[in-house]
Amino acid sequence: MKDVMNKALLFDGRAMITVWSMPRAAEEGARLHGMTDDAAEAYAKVLSVTAYMAAGLKSEKDRLTVIVEGSGKAGRIVACGEGGAKVRGYMSNPQASLRAGEQPSAMIGGEGVISVIKDMGMEQPYRGYGKVVKGDITSDFAGYFLLSEQTPTALALDAQFENGKCLMCGGAAAVALPGCGEEQLIVLEDIMRNFTDIRSALENSTPRALIEEHFGHFDPVYLPEITPLYKCTCSRARTAGMIKAMGRKEAMSIIVECGRIDVKCEFCGKNYSFNAQDIDKLFKEE
């Protein structure tokens, strides 16, 4: 099944339902970092909700960064997104795993902070914050949307890995838009209860089919389909720019001490190496 995200407006534009499936993107991210299945499932949920948020950015030039800093085994989880649901990410402890009988929430932990930074071309980026309360990505991000963005969101997220293979990763989100009445809100919440087992729903159906099945009688107006994608934006040129920013003196001191400058991308693991000749040429181009 391909990675896909479907969005539809309901009640004449007074609400929106989004359902998405992105096992390939999640598996690629976990593979690049050599994650255990337990770590990958926690990471994939954060990557998944980041894809949902990135799909809501108005321009493909817009950027967002999601940081989950919990007290659990996973440590810090960072995910970045761009318009069009392009995502990438990493976590502090990719080799973390659960003991027999230990709950998945132990990966995130029972307390911590969610930080969201959105760069939308304004003078200052938007910064929002939420709390890690239960170690459950779904409820913690629902709390973030409500308290930080003032957007009540019925949210369902899940991911499942087995021997490094992503069996499913995705979610569903329903949001009331301006003009949504109390009666429509109740209907929306009632239908979203059918998504409490989003894992089973996405294992047996496509996002578009799920929208049709549960919301088809409300004449949904579909928005253009989106393809979530794991995409790292690193490059040798971008890395060279980072080295130039540190200045010639600092760069040459590293060369003298280490013989070269090695920069490893946190998102994809690719290494960029610069020797003395590379650094000399880099600063001569100024």
Quick: pLDDT tens for 134-174: 889 999 999 999 999 988 899 999 999 999 999 999 999 99
Stretch 91-120: mean pLDDT, rounded?
94
In the chain, the DSSP E strands lie at 4-10, 15-21, 63-70, 76-82, 86-91, 112-119, 126-132, 153-162, 165-176, 221-222, 229-230, 261-264, 271-274
Highest mean pLDDT (candidates 19-23, 239-243, 274-278): 19-23
Which CATH class for the 236-284 domain? alpha beta
Question: Is residue 196 very low, low, confident or very high in pLDDT (cuts 50, 70, 90)?
Answer: confident
Instruction: Identify which of 209, 184, 167 has the alpha carbon closest to the alpha carbon of residue 22.
Output: 167
Question: Is residue 178 very low, low, confident or very high in pLDDT (cuts 50, 70, 90)?
Answer: confident
Alpha-carbon Rg for the chain, nearest whole angstrom, is 21
At residue 28, the pLDDT reads 96
Is the pLDDT at 128 greater than 90, yes or no?
A: yes
List the chain domain ranges: 4-230, 236-284
Q: How far is CA 50 from CA 71, 117, 201, in A?
A: 20, 11, 20
The predicted model scores a pTM of 0.90
Instruction: Identify which of 271, 269, 267, 268 has the alpha carbon closest to the alpha carbon of residue 239.
Output: 271
Cβ(184)–Cβ(11) below 8 Å: yes
Question: Is residue 94 very low, low, confident or very high in pLDDT (cuts 50, 70, 90)?
Answer: very high
In the chain, what percentage of residues exceed pLDDT 70? 99
Is the pLDDT at 195 greater than 90, yes or no?
A: no
4-230 and 236-284 agree in CATH topology: no
Q: Tokens 């071309």 appear where?
A: 121
Is the pLDDT at 194 greater than 80, yes or no?
A: no
Is the pLDDT at 8 greater than 60, yes or no?
A: yes
* Rounded CA separation 61/56 (Å): 12
Residues 27-61: tens digit of each pLDDT: 999 999 999 999 999 999 999 999 999 999 988 78
Is the pLDDT at 282 greater than 90, yes or no?
A: no
In the chain, what percentage of residues exceed pLDDT 90? 64
Residues 208-249: tens digit of each pLDDT: 999 999 999 889 999 999 999 999 988 999 898 888 888 888
At residue 285, the pLDDT reads 66
Is the pLDDT at 286 greater than 60, yes or no?
A: no
Q: What is the mean pLDDT of the chain?
A: 92
At residue 233, the pLDDT reads 87
CATH topology of domain 4-230: Hsp33 domain (3.55.30)
